[in-house]
Structure 1
Amino acid sequence: MPLQEEDTLAVGFGPMLLAFAESWYESGLSKLSVFISDIEATDTAKLTQLRDSARRVNLEVSLKILAAAENEEPDWKRIVEPFQFIIYAAETDDWGELRQLQEACIAERRPMLPAVAAHGLGWIGPLAEPGGGGGWESAWRRIHATVVPKSRDQERISSTAAAVLTNVVVHQWQKAGREDEELDCRKQCFILEPETLTGCWHEIVPHPLVTGYEFARQIQAPELGRILEISAEPVAPDDWFAYFNNLTSEVTGIFHNWGEGDLIQIPLAQCLVQPVDPLTAGPAQLLPAIVRSGLTHDEARRASALAGLEAHAARLLPLQLAGLPQYLQESVSVGAGSTAAEAVGRALRLCLEQKLAERLQSRRQYVRRIAWTEAEDVRCRYYLEALNITGGEVFIAAGEPLLGFSVVWVCSGTSWYVSADLSFTLALRSSLQKALDKAESAKIAPVIEEDQGARAAMIPNGEPMDYPSLTQEAVQNLKQSSAALAVFDLRSESFLGEGPFVLYGVILKEEEEVL
């Protein structure tokens, strides 16, 4: 059913409400109903002047002004009930009124489109409607703090900027009335830079602290065995690239940035990701940037994006795991992957790195040098050749196994790098990558057990990366080591929406620790 002018109510106050009324009449519309929520801040005489000016062109122009009685709180449900479409226009940083109005509109099943000026910005939408994904509050929590100019936080927007915003609102209302057109304001937010008068629409992913999230679910042993067996076709590069690219926006994205930027791409490709913090009340603060490297650009891009998802999801753990004691929440490592096996495997690898860091702080490490006879793994072979060129002779040593997993040390120049991983090859790869990336080296060099001599070893091929087998073997290995393992499905679809990747949390405790 097409919208009628008399079915629409504009709520708000101040210059923004006046600007909307002017845009409404200038577009050729005639009947306008307004509810003024702050009479003192609104020039009602100017409002009637706008009506009178429009009436000189069109005698059918009318204006109906509503307002709550003095010292009376508006009954928003009663106010919006007679209308079919609600518009909110105001310049304010007090979200209480807008939140109450939206709740009333959702309850009465009335779509509401806000046009707000606050904190030096102007924005419209998203359209709030039943099941619509959180409306303006999701937008405010998604807009990055870097977009909100602190220097203009207390400034009011100009009348020209207000006119631009309200013209866009009227245009969206007209599109809504035609029914056959897709609305820009549905699941999108228009953000206007008031000084340059430039703006565009940005997609808004519903925010979990507005629309809700699911609690993490612990996976019991029988089910864990089943989900780790599931293998799937790898997500095609074009598909995962498009997915992560859609998550990236310097204005409203889950990732503020994702790309190579100015990073040096030799000897390894590198990619940076900077996720946002989902716990901030708005605007969204940025988390620290993460850099990941790889043999190819695709590998580095995928690795950095998965690390970005993991960092973003880790901030929600206190909410999703609210039933766990804080010391256990802090022990959870988050893994992302295209399958449960990959996600759990990545989380396990992070757990091993944490356990290794704890061991390095507690006691001196003793290692035995490795004289490798053959490198079947193409990545290790390339990393070793690159290190020999850039850093001189490379020494490899085996450390004391960690919960039955390989610990491999690499010495390049005067620095030692160490990793624990699901296999010897993966541990060696990781240490070699750290050396090439010049990541933080071990603070205390290990003691080489010279009396035992070098151990001859072959570097097995680690390709293809078979996460189902690796992760299942790791679980069995942990059982033999009497380690305690807890795995949680983080129900990522509740805060990331549908996508090709899943997120799992893992807690790993040694025998003497309680889980």
Structure 2
Amino acid sequence: MPGVTLSMCLKMNRDTFVYPQQNGGVYLRNNKTSIQMEGNTIEQWLQNLIPMLDGSRSMEEITDGLPDPYKEQVYKIAEVLYTNGFVRDTSQDLPHQLSAEVLEKHASQIEFIDHLSHSGAHRFQKYRNSKIAIIGCGPLLSSLTASLLQSGLPAFTIFHTNTKQNETKKLQELMKSAIKTEPESSITLLSFDENCCTEDLANIEYVLYANEGENTDQLSMIQKVCRDQSKSFLPVTLQNNQAFVGPLQLTDSAACWKTASLRLGKKDNKETKLKSSRTASNLLANVAVFMLFKVITGVQENPENAIYQLNVETLEGNWHPVFPHPLVTNNIKIEVIEDPFLFIKEATTREFDLHSLFYKITSSDTGIFQQFEERDLSQLPLSQCKVHVADPFGENEPEVITAAGRTHEDARLEAGLSGIETYAKTLFMNSPEVMSVGSGRSATEGMCRALQNSLQEIFIKSHNKLHVSAEVDRSSIQDAYSTFLIGALTTLGEEIKLFLGKKIHGFPVIWVQQDRHCFGSIGLDEKRALQNALQGALMYRQNKEEVPNKNCIKSSTTISTTGLQTITLSVSKEVPLTSALQTLKNNNCEAKFYTLHTETILNENTSGLYGITLSSEVQS
């Protein structure tokens, strides 16, 4: 039969569960899938066949002497089990030279490898033959030593950096115990000399480093040596009340401890510093050794893109993703867009799914977004979303941005794009040109947002002048969303007044006045300016407090209507980028656009990041 052959030695996976059903069939499930097998006698067949599927017999041996109908039934059942991943073929396993004693003692490790891959004994032998070194001091060093011995590693080197007498005694006891239980045990204990680090690690393949304290200079030095010599490096660090395993630095990986430290940022350490417990050290060591075990045996993919964080007080731990950081990979680049019109014409018309990107870059500890959710924000009449944007330099607290929209999707999109723009702007804050940043689902949207953000920043600097030229007749507003916002505002508070402000570089400014507060915004067109101002006013009213809002500014100055004429506002369609650039040109202002290269995940999953500089200042 296809799939299952006479020479196959099938072995049942240990995560298989068989549940008999009342109709005579059975239900099988494992950690990956589940199937249903029907038949009044299928349970009896499985009861007799499963014990035979232990990997020691070929299908020919199992079916030898059976009548042809029985053979056919055995092969049918075996085919179903094999196709659905409930059994594997041990006849294809790679050879090994492990003794019977080692196979018996470490059967659980071998079974674990077999369950996730194949050739468990061969891969475990590779692990036992690996050249591993531990560098460090304190309880972490002895915990790592014990974990390596328990994992089945018979020989490795220990470099102690500043081990106390009681810790040295503990290490020697572990070494003596290992020799009794493992005849092949060969553990070397040496003092670590930074000046001889390169020579000492010359024949080592994997380095585990245990660091307790704030000083990371030694960690960085050893990490550099490992990278230069193409060795894998796994740090285990314990600082204040937080402890970390990883990220694992492989020979070709971009992740490293500096990347993780920038992602993690500076934590608030106001709480009392706790002394790390032996339990915490043992837990960290087990996580680190298990991670190394999976890497060497080849049963874990992309292990370098994560870091394990443990709270030493509560012993709560979590894995967090770690993306390569542009400040470490030197992936920061600015390119001038010589001809914006040609650039837009040649840009891809594909619109990116940004919502999935927002979730990918969100992690409470290591994400570009440390929070991206509605949380306790009121969702009526406006949908709202809050984003906490990490500082790319890892020095400051996350910046909080609240965005709103007519739907949850609109609010999340605005919050996500604003967060990405804020992150990128901070990343380029030390560049020669002070830029505003925009991004979007398309190149045109990204460049329009860059210009909008630039105008808004100029407007914020000049808003204290509060120049208005006319009052706007509310009844002239025909835009449906603006009408909805006006209705919601008047329902929640006093009547509102709309004012036309002084243009900036030829672009309209709208002010909304309600309850002795004014809310202003600038836009590429009157529709956008009006909606942003109204939305900002409604957010203030809805949240009963001022929330961080990029698209609107608030002033407590009351606008006097004395001497102001009332005009109608014909809210036009959105102005395309080409018209906006022409408006700048007509007002003696030149815009220069740039493409910004930062985070790989951002550049690959958006239409791009765009910077903009305007050549002239706002006129007073």
TM range (shorter): 0.7 to 0.9
Quick one: distance in 2 between partners of 1:400 and 1:445? Answer: 16
Q: Letter of the 2:421 partner, please give it.
A: E
1:277 to 359, 376, 391: 391
Question: Residue in 1 aligned with 2:146?
Answer: 22
Distance 1:52 1:80 in 2: 24
1:45 aligns with 2:169: yes
For residues 37 and 445 of structure 1, the distance between their equivalents in structure 2, rounded to whole angstroms, comes to 68
1:465 is matched with which residue? none
Q: Which moved more, 1:39-48 or 1:25-34?
A: 39-48
The equivalent residue for 2:349 is: 232
Matching residue within 550, 559, 566 for 1:454: 566
Q: Distance in 1 between matches of 2:169 and 2:156?
A: 16
* Structure-2 change in CA distance of 1:30 and 1:141 (3 Å): same
Confirm whether residue 247 of structure 1 aligns to residue 361 of structure 2.
yes
Q: Which residue of 2 aligns with 1:204?
A: 322
Instruction: Measure how far apart 1:374 and its partner are.
Output: 5.0
Give the Cα–Cα distance (whole angstroms) in 2 for the partners of residues 233 and 394 of structure 1: 41
Distance (Å, rounded) in 1 between the aligned partners of 2:492 and 2:556? 22
Does 1:310 find its partner at 2:421? Answer: yes
Residues 1:104 and 1:495: Cα distance change in structure 2 (over 3 Å): farther
Counterpart Cα distance in 1 of 2:505 and 2:231: 59
How far 1:287 moved relative to its partner? 2.6
Q: Choose 185-194 or 347-356, whichever is displaced more.
A: 347-356
The answer on 1:488 being equivalent to 2:594 is yes
Aligned to 2:577: 471
- Name 1:189's counterpart in structure 2: 307
1:171 equivalent in structure 2: 290
SS class of match (1:458): coil
Compute the displacement of 1:262 (Å): 0.6
Task: Work out which of the residue numbers 121, 124, 130 in structure 1 matches 2:245.
Answer: 124
**Which residue, out of 396, 403, 409, partners 1:298?**
409
Q: Is the 8 A contact 2:477 2:569 kept in 1?
A: no
Task: Determine if the alignment matches structure 1 residue 510 to structure 2 residue 616.
Answer: yes
Q: 1:134 to 1:42 in 2, by over 3 A?
A: farther
Determine helix, strand or coil for the equivalent of 1:265.
Answer: coil
* Structure 1 Cα separation of the partners of residues 169 and 461 of structure 2: 71
Q: Which structure is higher in RCO with an 8 Å CA cutoff and minimum separation 6?
A: 1
> What is the Cα deviation at residue 495 of structure 1?
7.8
Task: Report how far residue 103 of structure 1 moved.
Answer: 0.8
The 3 A distance-change label for structure 1 pair 357 and 35 is: closer
In the TM superposition, residue 42 of structure 1 has moved relative to its aligned partner by: 7.5
Tell me the distance in 2 between the aligned counterparts of 1:161 and 1:343: 47
Conservation of the 8 A alpha-carbon contact between 1:484 and 1:511: no
| Aligned partner of residue 130 in structure 1, secondary structure | coil
Shift of 1:425: 0.7
Deviation at 1:372, TM superposition (A): 5.1
**Alignment partner of 1:77 is 2:198:** yes
1:57-108: CA deviation from partner (whole Å, max 9, x where unpaired): 222222112334xxx5333222222122221123232111111111111111
Which residue of structure 1 lines up, in the alignment, with residue 72 of structure 2?
Answer: none
Q: Distance in 1 between matches of 2:603 and 2:578?
A: 28
Aligned residue pairs: how many? Answer: 483
Give the drift of 1:318.
Answer: 3.2
Indicate how the Cα distance of structure 1 residues 359 and 91 shifts in structure 2: closer, same or farther if over 3 A, else same: closer
Report the CA distance shift for 1:50/1:360 in structure 2 as closer, same or farther (over 3 A).
Answer: closer
Q: Cα offset for 1:367?
A: 2.0
Task: Provide the rounded CA distance (Å) in 1 between the counterparts of 2:205 and 2:463.
Answer: 65
Tell me the residue number matched to 1:287. Answer: 398
Q: Which stretch has the larger CA shift, 500-509 or 164-173? A: 500-509
**Paired amino acid for 1:191:** Q
**CA 1:41 to 1:14, structure 2 compared with 1: closer, same or farther past 3 Å?**
farther
Return the alpha-carbon distance in structure 1 between the equivalents of residues 501 and 296 of structure 2: 70
Q: Which of 165-174 and 437-446 deviates more?
A: 437-446
Corresponding position of 1:216: 334
The answer to whether 1:115 aligns with 2:236 is yes
8 Å Cα contact 2:236/2:288 also seen in 1: yes
Deviation at 1:140, TM superposition (A): 1.8
What residue number does 2:459 align with? 356
Counterparts of 1:382 and 1:436, CA distance in 2: 11
Partners of 2:214 and 2:166 in 1: how far apart? 16
1:135 alignment partner AA: C
Q: Check whether the contact 1:23–1:167 (CA below 8 A) recurs between aligned residues.
A: yes
Offset, 1:144: 4.8
5+ long unaligned stretches in structure 1 = 463-468
Question: Residues 131-182 of structure 1: CA distance to partner in whole angstroms, max 9, x if unpaired?
Answer: 3123122112212545x654244x3311111111111222122212222x12
Residue 437 of structure 2, aligned match among 309, 315, 334: 334
Aligned counterparts of 1:497 and 1:164: Cα–Cα separation in 2:
38
Q: Is the 8 A contact 1:228 1:472 kept in 2?
A: no
CA contact (8 A) 1:115 1:123 kept: yes
2:166 and 2:523 map into 1 onto residues whose CA distance is 65
User: Are 2:608 and 1:498 equivalent residues in the alignment?
Assistant: no
**107 and 3 in structure 1: CA distance in 2 versus 1, 3 angstrom threshold:** farther
1:249 maps to amino acid: S
| Structure-2-length-normalised TM-score | 0.73
What CA distance in whole angstroms lies between the structure 2 residues aligned with 1:37 and 1:278? 32
- 2:491 aligned partner: 389
Contact persistence 2:508–2:524 (CA under 8 A)? yes
- State whether residues 258 and 271 of structure 1, in contact with CA within 8 Å, keep that contact through their aligned partners in structure 2: yes
The alpha-carbon distance between structure 1 residues 131 and 227, as it changes in their structure 2 partners (threshold 3 A), is farther
TM-score by length of 1: 0.86
Q: Give the deviation of 1:449 after TM superposition.
A: 6.5
Q: How far apart are residue 117 of structure 1 and its match?
A: 1.6
Between the aligned partners of 2:585 and 2:184, the Cα distance in structure 1 is 81
Aligned twin of 1:420: 522
Is the contact between residue 92 and residue 118 of structure 1 (CA under 8 Å) also seen in structure 2? Answer: yes
Shift of 1:203: 0.5
Match of 1:466 in 2: none
Displacement of 1:382 in angstroms is: 1.2
Structure showing greater Rg:
2
After superposition, give the CA deviation of every residue in 1:29-59 in whole Å (9 maximum; x if it has no partner): 3212112233558832321211111222222
Kept after mapping to 2: 8 A contact 1:370/1:456: yes
Which residue is 1:429 aligned to?
A: 531
User: Residues 480, 58 of structure 1: CA spacing in aligned structure 2 closer, same or farther, 3 A cutoff?
Assistant: same
Q: Distance in 2 between matches of 1:511 and 1:275?
A: 29
Q: Is the 8 A contact 1:14 1:42 kept in 2?
A: no
Is 1:26–1:54's contact at 8 Å kept on the other side of the alignment?
no
For residues 79 and 495 of structure 1, do their structure 2 counterparts lie closer, same or farther at Cα, with a shift above 3 Å needed? farther
